[in-house]
Amino acid sequence: MQFEVLATCHTTKARVSRMTLAHGVTALPTFMPVATQAAIKGLTPQQVESLGITLILNNTYHLNLRPGTKILKEAGGAHKFQGWNHNLLTDSGGFQLVSLSKFTKITEEGALFSSPFTGEPTMLTPEESMSIQHAIGADIMMQLDDVVPSLTTGPRVAEAMARSVRWLDRCIEFHEKSGRKDVQNLFAIVQGGLDPELRDQCLDEMTKRKDGVAGYAIGGLSGGEAKDTFWRIVKQCADKLPADRPRYCMGVGFAEDLLVCAALGVDMADCVFPTRTARFGVALTFRGAMNLKLSKYATDLTPIDQNCPCPTCKGGTTRAMLHHIVTLETVAAHAVTMHNLTFQAQVMGGARDAIMQGTFPAYLHKFFDNYFGDVGYPEWCVNALRSVGVDLLEGKENAKVIPGDGGNWDYSNPKKQ
Amino acid sequence: MSTISFQLSATSPGPRIGTLRLTRPDGTVLSLKTPGIVTATSRGVVPHLSPDLCAQTKAVRWVHVAFESFLDHDPPVPTLLTGQNRALARFLGHPHSAILSLSLRDPGDIRTMPPNGDAHVSANCIRGVRKVTPENWRSYGQSCDPDIIFALTDTPFTPPPYSQKRLTKSVERSLAWVADILRSDSPARNVFVQMAGGTEPAARAAFSEGLGARLYDKEAEAVKPLKTLDEGVAGYSIDLGPLRTTLGDRLLHHSKLAAVLVPDTIETADLTQSTEALIKLVGASLQSLPQSRPRLVNSCTGPHEILKIVKDVGADLFDAAWAQRAADIGIAMEFHFPVPDHHRDGADKLAIGYNLYDHVYAHDFRSLCETDSATVLSTPLQHSSVDSPPTMIPASPFTRAYLHHLLHTHEMSSHALLTAHNLSVLAAFFAGIQGIVSSDSERVLFAKEVEVFCDVYDVSSVLFDEALKAWAGVELARGKGRLGREKVVGAE
Ligand SMILES: [Zn+2]
């Protein structure tokens, strides 16, 4: 991997960088759409490519089950298997193992689970995770980490953090010997729950191993913790991670979260949210979410967003048309998915340009004013951005501020229209 | 009032090729060779093909839309675009280069419906049954501005059989509704007429004679200067769906079926079991009508039936609904006309496609089809000045193993790829027909090639039956949770 920081924001911790991997260049900060089972829901790889997306995520747990590493090897890797010629990142498989398997027991050796095929006890070790990700051939691989739910407290969090460091060592060692270091890159995952002390210890240990890792992820978040805690941990990690390595915040996809993370110095993020919410008929716009199922859109003959360059909006597909087919025809899901992925890319592309031009604080103001001006600014966003020198409420005496986790709305029941 | 010109190679019964040219009010001329495809839609869109993909699929030259799904809103939403050229096509995002035809009802929908009346057709929308009068229909047509509009027709969808009296009424109403849409005070452009009369040859002949009959008095006044209704008609269509129902032919894969309704065992049928009977009925309709108008046949079962109808009747357009439905249930079509040399002497029958749910495709890295045209490379979007210069990397064709994976993981992309594929295979098939007919002055070669095709390609429903069961299996298992399904299907 080549990683080059092109510009940093004069006020916030945001930066623009260029990450060159075996399958091309990706400009950061960026959002990575999730192609869980080797397909972005409903789209062809060419459609995804045409949206200007250069980095997607596959889930190791799912690909290991189906099609399995044997078929992936026969195909010549996951890129060839799914016809995707650009960059690809895989997770370690550990997170899904813990959340989807009925029985999982973590030992020092690895994660013990019952095979979904035979029910037999099966072990996912750090080495096995690396081996599967080598078969997949992802440009970026994640270490196997010891995942505990975000809200866990007590000694288990410390144990998981320490074990994640030990497992990182095993991943590094396995990857070093694999002969694939020139084409695949290993990322470490910072753990430590919501405890700043543990996070610090983990950061210290993992930054010591910098020579063995190409980048760092911030794990263990986006699991229902308070947003005010979330951003403080992200900030703590981003501040301490080495500047010459990309930083990836896992499981983040709301536009406001993405921009806050970017301002705190995060370079990459992923989430199923924009594609999943599209299937329920929710389109993302710079003025908030739009639930196309609502009857008020039945006769609305304007595109989702007049200024959006996606094939759906540019092709003149109207809200009324989408309302007519939403959740009834797969075409509606495809059309809204393309729009939502373009929206995410536009939010991040706009951030890159603004950082390059030295106007990122103004970009943040404009985005948050459009997005939350009517409904109120989430307090946590205000606090997080104040911590990096941007005051969203500056000059707005009567601005409404929403305490708590404002903005973190449920995709099936959006508050904003 | 027709802006369609149709040039035919031959004017005697039997296989024929032609060129259909449709001129729009703005002067655009769309031209297509026949026999050819009409792409079916659902709620106005080609299932699984988003407008960008639809525009890239060269086989989509003509889309047929049923208006009834818009009746769930009053007034129907597309009518809000009144006054715009191609209002409905624009609303739906169909390519400028594709002909759009409009009928009230979906020609593939054979569900039981309440009876029609003397002055209304019962149509189906998501909120239930709606009555549509000829006057409504004229006004919807004017708002939507389709390239071609189908006159209302009185096809009974109450359970068969139908009495002589019912069929007589059907013929009379249908003729009256043709007259209505041809009224000279608000004439519609390019009217297609569905051939009424049910499975009674005499009733079908009576409808056609009614079309060709000289009009007098009030009737003539209403449609002047037309001397007969037929003079105002741009083309004929025959819906085989309801005829098949009346004949007792209930092939399962024809229409959308909920997964829970798919039986565990499906009796294998012959896809051409009704074809001879249907050809007689089509013949009864066309006998007295001029050869020179395009003839559209809806709801064929597959290539065997299409070839026989081309051979015996000389039909020009066929809907692709059966091949599109096949894409829903994981079938990739693969058949060629004329049959390639290397397939002619095989001992075993070939299938007209393959069921990609079948585990034999798990390791099959052959491409879906060699004939698939490369996708059109567009310029990717660029989201910032530091993004790499936008270039698309030409894609290698998708493999059967990948499609197999997508089907078993319930990924919707599979259906988009299969729809584009199946339409392309069907377009190539029709190009093959055109080639043989054009080189065949004696009409012997074509008949012989049809025979070879029927010898080489299996005409049984087994491919569809197996795929339907596999599709239903994956659909139903989804409700039971992913891991449960892994245990059942996990033989790979
Ligand atoms: Zn858009």
pLDDT tens digits for range B260-308:
989 888 899 999 999 999 999 999 999 999 999 999 999 999 999 999 9
Whole-number pLDDT of residue A414 = 38
Chain A residues touching residue B380 (CB < 8 angstroms): 49-52
> Which of A176-190, B60-74, B204-218, B468-482 has the least mean pLDDT?
B468-482
The pLDDT value recorded for residue A412 is 36
The Cα-based distances of B87 to A232, A297, A301, B40, B96 in angstroms read 53, 18, 12, 19, 11
pLDDT tops 50 at residue A415: no
How close is the Cα of B94 to the center of ligand 1, in Å?
A: 17
Q: What is the pLDDT of residues B334-346, one digit of tens each?
A: 999 999 999 998 8
pLDDT of residue B5: 97
CATH 3.20.20.105 residue ranges of chain B are 3-326
CB contact under 8 A, A325 and B416: no
Q: Does domain B3-326 have CATH number 3.20.20.105?
A: yes
CB B38 within 8 A of CB B317: yes
pLDDT at A413: 38
| Residues of A designated catalytic | 91, 270
Question: Which pLDDT score, from 0 to 100, does residue B14 have?
Answer: 86
The distance of Cα B449 from the centroid of its chain, to the nearest Å, equals 24
For the record, the structure tokens of B363 come out as 């390791």
Q: Is A94 annotated as a binding residue?
A: yes
Among residues B53, B15, B59, the alpha carbon closest in space to that of B36 is found at: B59
Cα three-residue angle B364-B365-B371, rounded to 5 degrees? 110
pLDDT bin (cut points 50, 70, 90) of residue B11 is: low
User: Do A299 and B80 lie within an 8 Å CB cutoff?
Assistant: yes
Q: How many A from CA of A340 to the centre of ligand 1?
A: 7
Q: Which residues contact B444 (CB under 8 A, 6 or more apart)?
A: none
A339 has binding-site annotation: yes
What span, in angstroms and rounded, lies between the C-alpha atoms of A7 and A380?
26
Task: List C-alpha distances in Å: A92 to A117, A356, B449.
Answer: 20, 33, 56
Spatial neighbors of B420 by CB under 8 A, at least 6 apart, are: B49, B53, B56, B57, B59
Query: What strands lie across the sheet with B29-34, from one edge to the other?
Result: B4-8, B18-23, B29-34
Whether residues A298 and B73 touch (CB distance < 8 A) is answered with yes
Q: What is the pLDDT of residue B82?
A: 83
* Antiparallel, parallel or unpaired: β A140-142 and A121-124: unpaired
Q: Is A191 known as a binding-site position?
A: yes
Sequence-ordered alpha helix ranges (H) in B389-412: 400-408
Residue B490 pLDDT level (bands cut at 50, 70, 90): very low
A116 near B CB under 8 A = yes
A116/B490 touch (CB, cutoff 8 Å), yes or no: yes
Top residue of A304, A324, A328, A342 to mutate, by most chain B CBs within 10 Å, is: A324
Distance from CA of B51 to the nearest CA of A (A): 8
CA distances from residue A318 to A53, A284, B80 in whole angstroms, order as listed:
24, 14, 13
Alpha helices in A214-359 (DSSP H): 227-240, 255-264, 273-279, 311-314, 319-325, 330-357
Distance A19 CA to ligand 1 centre (A): 27
Give the distance from residue A259's alpha carbon to the nearest chain B alpha carbon, in angstroms: 15
pLDDT-derived band at A406 (thresholds 50, 70, 90) equals low
What's the whole-number average pLDDT of chain B?
92
| Sign of the torsion angle spanned by Cα atoms B23, B28, B29, B31 | negative
pLDDT over 50 at A369, yes or no: yes
For strands A111-114 and A121-124, give the pairing.
Answer: antiparallel
SS3 (DSSP) at B251: coil
Q: What's the one-letter identity of residue A405?
A: D
Antiparallel, parallel or unpaired: β A24-28 and A15-21:
antiparallel
| Partners of B467 in beta bridges | none
| Joined tokens for residue B370 | 């060699």
CA distance A105 to A96: 13
| Residue A27 scores a pLDDT above 50 | yes
Whether residue A343 is annotated as binding a ligand: the answer is no
**% chain B with pLDDT above 70:** 94
A344 marked as binding residue: no
- pLDDT the model gives residue B316: 97
Per-residue model confidence (pLDDT) at position B347 = 83
A117 and B CB contact within 8 Å = yes
**CA B387 to ligand 1 centroid distance, Å:** 19
Higher pLDDT, A67 or B82: A67
Q: What is the C-alpha to C-alpha distance for residues B367 and A75, in angstroms, rounded to an integer?
A: 12
pLDDT digits (tens, 9 = 90+) for A128-146: 999 999 999 999 999 999 9
Rounded to whole angstroms, how far apart are CA atoms A40 and B50? 14
Angle of helix A155-178 relative to helix A126-136, nearest 10 degrees, comes to: 50
pLDDT of residue A373: 87
List of chain A residues whose C-beta atoms are within 8 Å of the C-beta of residue B93: 315-317, 321
Ramachandran region, residue B308 (left: φ > 0; alpha: ψ -120 to 50; beta: rest)? alpha
A95 pLDDT more than 50: yes
Q: Which residues of A192-201 are buried (b: 16+ CB within 10 A; e: fewer)?
A: bbbbeebbeb
R_g over Cα of chain B? 23
pLDDT of B121-165, one tens digit each?
A: 999 999 999 999 999 999 999 999 999 999 999 999 999 999 999
Range of weakest confidence among B36-45, B185-194, B368-377: B368-377
Checking if the pLDDT of B20 tops 80, the result is yes
Q: How many CA atoms lie within 13 A of A200 on its CB side?
A: 4
Q: Is the pLDDT of residue B407 over 50?
A: yes
Residue with tokens 């392309």: B424
Q: Give B379 to chain A, closest Cα distance, Å.
A: 6
Residue with token string 């030992």: A107
Please classify residue A396 by burial: count the beta carbons closer than 10 Å to its beta carbon, then call 0-12 exposed, 13-18 middle and 19+ buried.
middle
- In B, which residues are within 8 Å of A102 by CB distance? 483
Which chain A residues are closer than 8 Å to B90 by Cβ?
A: 316
Contacts for B473 with CB less than 8 Å, ≥ 6 apart: B357, B488, B489
Cβ atoms A275, A41 nearer than 8 A: yes
**pLDDT number for residue A259:** 98
Q: Which residues in B lie closer than 8 A to residue A325 (C-beta atoms)?
A: 43-45
- Provide the 8-state DSSP code for B351: P
| Backbone φ, ψ for residue B157 (5° rounding) | -115, 20
> Which chain A residue lies closest to B395 (C-alpha atoms)?
A83
A348-407 residues touching B, CB cutoff 8 A: 348-350, 352-353, 356
Give the span between the Cα atoms of A253 and A225, in whole angstroms: 15
CA distance linking residue B58 with residue A358, whole number of Å: 46
Using DSSP, state whether B282 is helix, strand or coil: helix
ipTM of the complex: 0.95
Check: CB of residue A267 under 8 Å from CB of residue A218. Answer: no
Q: What is the pLDDT of residue B187?
A: 80
Cα distance from N-terminal residue to C-terminal residue, chain A:
42
Tokens of B32: 């297509």
B159-214 pLDDT, tens digit per residue, is 999 999 999 999 999 999 999 999 998 888 999 999 999 999 999 999 999 999 99
CATH class of A2-102+128-272: alpha beta
**Whole-number pLDDT of residue B487:** 38
CB pairs under 8 A between A and B: 199
Task: Count other Cβ atoms within 10 Å, centred on residue B460.
Answer: 14
Q: Mind listing the pLDDT tens digit for each residue in B231-266?
A: 999 999 999 999 999 998 877 666 678 889 898 888
Quick one: CA dihedral A284, A289, A293, A297, positive or negative? Answer: negative
Q: Between the CA of residue B315 and those of B117, B191, B249, B296, B435, what are the distances in Å?
A: 31, 17, 22, 6, 16
Q: Is A159 on the interface with B (CB under 8 A)?
A: no
Written as one letter, the residue type at B293 is R
**Which candidate from B49, B405, B417 shows the least CB-CB separation from A331?**
B49
Condensed to tens digits (0 to 9), the pLDDT of residues B427-442 reads 999 999 999 998 877 7
Q: What is the residue whose two structure tokens read 């026949």? A: B34
Q: CA distances (Å), A321 to each of A317, B124, B129, B488, in order?
A: 6, 19, 21, 40
- Ligand 1 centroid from CA B237, angstroms: 39
- The CA distance from B487 to the nearest CA of chain A, in Å, is 5
pLDDT at A410 over 90: no
B313: distance to nearest CA of chain A, Å? 35
